[in-house]
Amino acid sequence: MGLFNKHSEIIREASLFRRNCAQVFDLLGYRSFAFIYDSPQDSAAIMRSLTNKRILLGVTGGIAAYKSAELTRMLVKAGAEVRVAMTPSAIEFITPLTMQALSGQRVHLDLLDADAEAGMGHIELARWADLIVVAPATADFIARMTHGQADDLLTTVVLASTAPIAIAPAMNQAMWADDITQNNLEALQNRSINVWGPASGKQACGDVGPGRMIEPQEIADRCIGVFNTTRLTGLKILITGGPTQEAIDPVRFISNYSSGKMAFALAAEAAEAGAQVTLVSGPVHLTTPDRVSRIDVKSAEQMLDAVMDHVAGTDIFIGVAAVADYRPVAPEEQKIKKTKNTMTLPLVKNPDIISRVATLSSAPVVIGFAAETENIEANAKEKLQSKGLDLVFANLAAETFNSNDASVIALSRQSQQTLGPGSKRSIARLMLDLIAEHFEKKTIPTEA
C-alpha cells in the first residue's frame, strides 16, 4: 500500500526513546518510575499502535510469569485485544484471576474444558490471533513446541495457528546454554518463530548469565514492530453512511437510493489500516466490516445524536451518509388513510450533521461528500466553504448510488484531483491516502 510511513517512524522513534530512558532509569535504579517519563506525544503514539490487533499471550511456568501481568497491561494500553492462555505450571506462579482482570477476558486454561471450548474453542482461538507471544517460554515449553507436541492448550493453539509466533525464553543460564535447548531454538528459528531475548544478568536462582526474560516493555515494543503501522494506525475515525428514513406515519417514510457501499468500503479499509472506526449507519443491507463498531440509526435526528455521542476524541470525521434534507413536521401516530385525492405533507429542514461537527470547538478533520446531478465542481466548492470542510469528494449521484464502482473529484482549498474510476474498495484506499495527508498537514506543525 502507498499509505503510511511517517506514523510508523514516529512510533518506532517513540519506542526507542522510551527504551533508552528505561535503560538510564534502570542504571539509576529507578525502574518503578517507568511510566512517568512518557511525553504526551510518545504515549499517544504508543497507546494506539496496537489498535485492532488481537494478541494471544501464552504464559508458561517460570518465575518470570509475574512479569506477564505487566506485559498484558502494556499491550492493552497500546490498544490490543489480549487473550491469555496459561499452562498448568504457569498458574503455580501467577493466578488466572490476575490475568483475567488485566486482559478483561476469561483466561484459556484447559484443552478439555467443555465450557471454555463452547465460548471460544482452541481452533477458533488459533484463528483469532494476529500474533501469539509466549512470555515467559520455559525450556520445557520450547522443547514441546519444537517437536509439535500438542499435549496442552497452549502447544495445541501454537500448532494450529498460522499467525506470527514469538517466544521470550526464560530459564536458568545452564539450561539455556545446553545443546538441547540451543538445537531446539535453532529448529524453531528455522521455522520463522521469533525468539526475543533472553537477557543476561542475575537470575532468581542466584546464577549470573543469559536466561532472564527480556523486560515487558521490550516485548511490547517488539509486538508493535511485528505489525505494519500505517499513517492511520490508532486514529479514531467516525463515519456516517447510508440513507436516512424520515417517518411519515408508522408504515411510511421519506428516503433516498443510497446503498451505504461507499461508507462501508471506507470503514473496512480504514479498519484494515489500523484505525479505530465507528460507523453510524442508516438502514442498509450490508455486513459490518471486521473490527468496525457499528451504530444503526434510522432518521437524521437519530444520526445526529449518535454522532454527537461518539465524536469526542475523534481525529477524522467522514460524512458519507445521504442524509434526508427534510422530514415531515409531525409524523402521524396512525396510518394515514387515502381519503383525499391530493394531500400536502409539511416538511421541516433536518439538522446538517457535518456542519455541526465542523463547528465544534475541538473539531476533527472533516471530510464531506457531494453527490450531484449537475455542476459537480461548483457545487462541491460551495459545500467545502459553506460547511467548513477540509476535503470534499464529489461525483454524479446517478453513477454512484447503489453501484459497486465510483469515480470522484477530490477538492480541497488548495488542490483538486480525480480518483478512479475503480471499485469502491480501491477508491476508498485512495481517498484514505488523501485524508491521511490532510490530517497530517492540519495536525503536525511544520518547522518554521
> Under the rule (CB under 6 A), what is the footprint of ligand C5P?
240, 300, 319-321, 323, 350, 352-354, 368-370, 383
Max distance between CA atoms of the chain, in angstroms, equals: 96
For ligand C5P, give the closer residue by CB, 227 or 393: 393
Quote the CA–CA distance of 389 and 392 in Å, as a whole number: 7
Least distance to ligand C5P from the beta carbon of 311, Å? 12
**Minimum distance between the CB of residue 332 and ligand C5P, rounded to whole angstroms?**
23
Residues near 103 by beta carbon (within 8 Å), at least 6 away in sequence: 57, 72, 76, 82, 83, 84
Instruction: Give the shortest CB-253-to-ligand C5P separation in angstroms.
Output: 16
Rounded CA separation 234/315 (Å): 10
The answer to whether 167 and 161 have CB atoms below 8 angstroms apart is: no
Kind of pairing, strands 165-169 and 131-137?
A: parallel
Q: Give the DSSP letter string of 338-350.
A: --SSS----EEEP
Of the pair 95, 379, the CB lying nearest ligand C5P is at: 379
* C-alpha–C-alpha distance, residues 181 and 71, integer Å: 25
Measured from the CB atom, is 49 or 350 closer to ligand C5P? Answer: 350
205 is catalytic: yes
Smallest distance, ligand C5P to C-beta of residue 349, A: 8
CA distance 192 to 185: 11
Strand, helix or coil at 448?
A: coil
| Cα distance between residue 174 and residue 329, in whole Å | 81
Residue 231 or 327 having the CB closest to ligand C5P = 327
Dihedral through CA 113, CA 118, CA 123, CA 128, nearest 10?
-120
**What is the enclosing helix (H) or strand (E) of 422?**
strand 416-423
Nine-digit cell string for 227: 505489525
Give the closest residue to 121 by CA, choosing from 97, 156, 94, 86: 156
Q: Which residue's CB is nearer to ligand C5P, number 131 or number 323?
A: 323
By CB atoms closer than 10 A (0-12, 13-18, 19+), residue 219 is buried
In the complex, least distance from residue 343 CB atom to ligand C5P, rounded to whole angstroms: 25
* Closer residue to ligand C5P in complex, CB, 320/430: 320
Q: Decide whether 139 or 410 has the Cβ nearer to ligand C5P.
A: 410
- Computed on alpha carbons and rounded to an integer, the radius of gyration of the chain in Å comes to 27
Provide the minimum distance between the beta carbon of 32 and ligand C5P in the complex, in angstroms, as a whole number: 49
Helix (H) or strand (E) holding 83: strand 81-86
Taking the alpha carbons at both ends of the chain, their separation in whole angstroms is 31
Distance, in Å, from the CA atom of 26 to the CA atom of 19, rounded to the nearest integer, reads 10
Of the pair 126, 354, the CB lying nearest ligand C5P is at 354
Catalytic residue among 205, 312, 398, 444: 205
Which alpha helices (DSSP H) does 139-178 contain, by range? 139-146, 153-160, 173-177
Q: How does DSSP assign 168-216, residue by residue?
A: EE---HHHHHSHHHHHHHHHHHHTT-EE---EEEE-TTS-EEEEEPPPH
- Angstrom distance (rounded) from CA 197 to CA 176: 11
Q: How far is the CB of 224 from ligand C5P (least distance, A)?
A: 34
**Cβ of residue 319: shortest distance to ligand C5P, in angstroms?**
3
Shortest reach from residue 440's CB to ligand C5P, in Å: 22
Q: Give whichever of 196 and 369 is closer to ligand C5P, judged by the CB atom.
A: 369
Residues forming the active site:
205
